[in-house]
Structure 1
Amino acid sequence: MAINPHIEEKPMRKMSEAFKSLSNTLNSQNTLDGDVHLEVGPFSQACSLVFPLFRCLGIAFKFAEMDYVAKVDDLAEASKSIATLQLMMERDIEANCVRKAGSHTRNLLRVKRGLDMVKVLFEQILASDGNSLKDPASTAYAQVFAPYHAWVIRKAVVAGMYALPTKSQLLKKLNEDGISAKMEMQNYIDSSASVIVYIDKLFTSRELGIDW
């Protein structure tokens, strides 16, 4: 019998540990001027670890996956020449391109929404009974993505919800059991919250808003 080369991989653990590291980085900075910095490189690397989850959710989140992956790849490329998220945004502000399609700052906002969607999804899964992901996924999509998607995309996502894997199928794809999955989901919820809040503050403190 062929051995799955990825059988020992734990995508959810890698994801939760990476965001725990980012959260620790943010919480460890006690600067007199209140400035807190997060490096683009570690941030984009942590975000890339969410890719397997999006892929496992299937067609319902295909649009989100494609958009998220492209935006994270852009931030990874930006990390080669820009040290921190704060500096990245300041450069875009100086260049007057913050809201332009393809700008690093616009892409950061889209990536943040992807992280937020996963956080809400995990919260809903932990709060729900049964084996279906339809309600948790529908709630996460409605809260985070739906307000920014055209009707055609929203309709396609709703149709795709019927092709979602079950909770047990998802965990099997991610090489997790129920107990370990709950722990990793909660770890991600807790650690990603501070990262999401930090990014929101980067936008709101510069009066850029987060609803565009």
Structure 2
Amino acid sequence: MEKDRPMKKMAEAFKELCNRLNQFPEGEEARLELAAFSNACSLLSPLIRCLGIAFLFAEIDYVAKVNDLVKASKSVSLLPVMIDDDIRSDCVRKAGSHTRNLLRLKRTLDMIRILFEEIMCTEGNSLKDPASKAYKVFSPYHGWAIRKAVTAGISEALATKSELLNKMNEDEISSRIQMQSFVSSAAIVGQYIDQLFISRGLGTDW
């Protein structure tokens, strides 16, 4: 029986999201299914958890927001429809809204994408530099106490690269394949989400 490979699962799920996006003609707004997106996002949780206590803030917050979109997918079929519903309800920027949660999830995707990019171009076993650069996605939106706790966690309690790969059941070669696949796919999905916000005049810096 093959061991569970969370990194491979997330890479494959986001590649499938890209395949769905590519089905739409150029110039037409893609209508990505909310269920497919939220289920793909749920596959990132094991990796975030394996990074250690430094990213505990991300795991707790991330899981709650993924669960919100999974629940929303029971009654809303498409990402753009969900956003438009929140716009009509005038609740886009309210805490706990589906659209606000989507924006937070997108930042986590960016964080993992940058983490993988940095891991692939950094030698050695330490993840401190990659993790520090990846956290910059969130640091402008966090208060002093959270920033201090994350910085301390990265310095003192972050998993090493070998520990992370071992928990993901990957080796150097296989992990690079999965990370590169995720980086490419997550960039496309992230651009799609950004465009959904920008085309509706919402911006993404809030």
- The two structures have a TM-score, normalised by structure 1, of 0.95
Identity %: 60
What is the DSSP-based 3-state SS (H/G/I as helix, E as strand, rest coil) of the residue aligned with 1:113? helix
Deviation at 1:174, TM superposition (A): 0.8
Give the counterpart of 1:78 among 48, 51, 72: 72
- Distance in 2, Cα, partners of 1:208 & 1:28: 26
Is 1:42 the counterpart of 2:36? The answer is yes
Moved segments of 4+, more than 4 Å: none
Mapping for residues 89-128 of structure 1, pairs under 5 Å:
89-128=83-122
Mapping for residues 1-212 of structure 1, pairs under 5 Å:
8-30=3-25, 34-142=28-136, 144-161=137-154, 162-212=156-206
Root-mean-square deviation (CA, aligned residues, Å) is 1.1
What is the DSSP-based 3-state SS (H/G/I as helix, E as strand, rest coil) of the residue aligned with 1:183? helix
Q: Unpaired runs of 5+ in structure 2?
A: none
- Distance in 1, Cα, partners of 2:29 & 2:10: 26
Deviation at 1:28, TM superposition (A): 1.6
Deviation at 1:34, TM superposition (A): 1.3
Q: Unpaired runs of 5+ in structure 1?
A: none
The amino acid of 2:73's aligned partner reads S
- Distance in 2, Cα, partners of 1:15 & 1:210: 24
- The two structures have a TM-score, normalised by structure 2, of 0.97
Deviations 1:63-115 (A, max 9, x none): 01111110000000000000000000000000000000010000000000010
What is the DSSP-based 3-state SS (H/G/I as helix, E as strand, rest coil) of the residue aligned with 2:166? helix
Deviation at 1:197, TM superposition (A): 0.2
Q: How many residues align?
A: 205
